[in-house]
Amino acid sequence: LKDQLAANRDQPAVTRDGTELKLLANINNAKDVESAVAMGAQGVGLYRTEYLYLTHENVPDENEQFAVYREILQKSPRHYVTIRTLDIGGDKTVAYLGHNHNEANPFMGWRSIRLSFEHPEFFMSQIRAIMRCAAELKSGEPGEVNMLFPMITNVEEMRKARHLVRKAEKSLDERGIPRGEVKVGMMLEVPAAAVAIHHLLELVDFVSIGSNDLVQYLTAADRDNPKVSGLCQPLSPAVVITLKHVIEACNQANIPVTLCGEMAGQPRAFLLLLGMGLRSFSMSPAFIPTIKELANQATVEHAERVVEKVMEMKTTNQVKRYLRMELEAIS
């Protein structure tokens, strides 16, 4: 198994008809980078920073944040890392930022960037720490630091986030603290942002689709509530239509798009996403070898035909059955 893994790790992530794909890793801490490397990830596509805060009694200061981000950058394959700013709330809370469990609708409530905006001191320290981490990139060597804002709902929020980025740049420059170039992007996980994606694309350098939240918000069904989770289906026609709309909009505007929800690592969704034009997938490291093998067997031409067929289907079961059949045909 070890030999097999090693062979797969060195294999390029390319389709049978020669389209190159990016297979990235989702990580929650510095330790996870080891599995990203072992599984052959081409970089870290999603670092969920909330885990750094969940394990602390109080907000870690800027230097401590910087040290952790730097360690992750240094260990990451090709020094490629996408750092997502705090995404607390919903099911995760940190009391020291004033968050509690008293909301009637936590997932629709005060979570994620909505909470960060109300803690500008903390939020600025995180943004600065990410920019300082980017200064560690060596010129002439491969590497990229991306800053990802979660739960963006509308243009105003993205403008506000951009404004904070400029402010952080200024404050570091004034103090003579080195900073590096950082690409600024948004998580696409709120249906409102998916519908109006073309407006948001003017404000971002990249997009990362959070299918876990997008699916649960689109279907208005909590994925962790067994009474309704049956409605929360990533392969439902409404989700398929939405994903196609977003991926095509990004590709048309030449804005790089990744999908970093669970779907990215699900074999059954692979042909569908490939056929929609997705070329970058970020997933738990353990899924990378399987998706890479699938990629090696797939062709874009076939995947595009699959999407055409799926777009005509009216039920989730139909989509699921059909995708399973097409998957078996190539594997």
- Which of 65/211 has CB closer to ligand PEP? 211
**Minimum CB–partner distance for residue 120 and ligand PEP (Å):** 23
Question: Which residues contribute to the site for ligand PEP (CB under 6 A)?
Answer: 48, 87, 189, 210-213, 260-261
Name which of ligand PEP, Mg ion, none residue 48 binds, using a CB cut-off of 5 to 8 Å depending on partner kind.
ligand PEP
- Which of 38/221 has CB closer to Mg ion? 221
Name which of ligand PEP, Mg ion, none residue 279 binds, using a CB cut-off of 5 to 8 Å depending on partner kind.
none
- Which of 54/172 has CB closer to Mg ion? 54
Nearest to 182 by CA among 240, 136, 218, 221: 136
**Interior/surface letters 237-258, b for 16+ CB within 10 angstroms, e for the rest:** bebbebbbebbebbeeeebbbb
Question: Which residues contribute to the site for Mg ion (CB under 5 A)?
Answer: 189, 210, 213
**Minimum CB–partner distance for residue 260 and ligand PEP (Å):** 5
Using CA atoms, how far residue 39 sits from 26, 81, 95, 262, in Å, is: 12, 16, 35, 17
CA–CA gap between residue 293 and residue 72 (Å, rounded) = 27
**Minimum CB–partner distance for residue 261 and ligand PEP (Å):** 3
- Which of 210/289 has CB closer to Mg ion? 210
Name which of ligand PEP, Mg ion, none residue 326 binds, using a CB cut-off of 5 to 8 Å depending on partner kind.
none
- Which of 85/211 has CB closer to ligand PEP? 211
Name which of ligand PEP, Mg ion, none residue 60 binds, using a CB cut-off of 5 to 8 Å depending on partner kind.
none
- Which of 218/323 has CB closer to ligand PEP? 218
Name which of ligand PEP, Mg ion, none residue 132 binds, using a CB cut-off of 5 to 8 Å depending on partner kind.
none
**Minimum CB–partner distance for residue 211 and ligand PEP (Å):** 5
CA–CA gap between residue 297 and residue 291 (Å, rounded) = 10
Q: In terms of C-beta density within 10 A (0-12 exposed, 13-18 middle, 19 or more buried), how is residue 125 classed? A: buried
H helices present in 236-315, as ranges = 237-252, 267-276, 288-297, 300-310
Q: Considering Cα of 102, then 108, then 111, then 115, what sign does the dihedral take?
A: negative
Rg (CA), the chain: 20
Using CA atoms, how far residue 301 sits from 83, 137, 250, 306, 307, in Å, is: 33, 38, 20, 9, 10
The phi, psi pair for 263, rounded to 5°, reads: -55, -30
**Minimum CB–partner distance for residue 207 and ligand PEP (Å):** 13
Name which of Mg ion, ligand PEP, none residue 313 binds, using a CB cut-off of 5 to 8 Å depending on partner kind.
none
**Minimum CB–partner distance for residue 92 and ligand PEP (Å):** 9
- Which DSSP letter does residue 83 get? E
- Which of 21/88 has CB closer to ligand PEP? 88
